[in-house]
Amino acid sequence: MTTANEPNTPRPSVSLGDFQQLIHKMYFDKDASRGIDGTFMWLMEEVGELAAALRSGSHDDKMEEFADVLAWLTTIANVAGVDLSEAVARKYGDGCPGCQRFACVCDDAEKP
């Protein structure tokens, strides 16, 4: 019998809401005591590690760093009391915020 920790066992998909709850359950007390500013600094460190992985890391390195960035962003959302699922639905649920289409046709010059 295999367990979820074995490398060949498929992992279930995780919704954004479930992930936010998981991060809250695991880390909220530490995160709240660190505060938004301290947590933001950790996020920036992870963004730097992601940048390095994108330049020269393996696929596994990239996966790990994307997960870390998402976790720290989720941590900040928890401390700030923001429901990420609601925020994403509000901003992108009706299409591109600029052109309101699901296949964006905004001029590239308008994008950062």
What is the three-state SS of the chain? CCCCCCCCCCCCCCCHHHHHHHHHHHHHHHHHHHHHHHHHHHHHHHHHHHHHHHHHCCHHHHHHHHHHHHHHHHHHHHHHCCCHHHHHHHHHCCCCCCCCCCCCCCCHHHCC
The highest-level CATH class for domain 16-110 is mainly alpha
What pLDDT sits at residue 2? Answer: 44
So what's the pLDDT on residue 5? 56
List the domain boundaries for the chain.
16-110
Q: For every one of its 112 residues, what pLDDT tens digit does the chain have, with 9 covering 90 and above?
A: 444 556 667 778 999 999 999 999 999 999 999 999 999 999 999 999 999 999 999 999 999 999 999 999 999 999 999 999 999 999 999 999 999 999 999 998 876 4
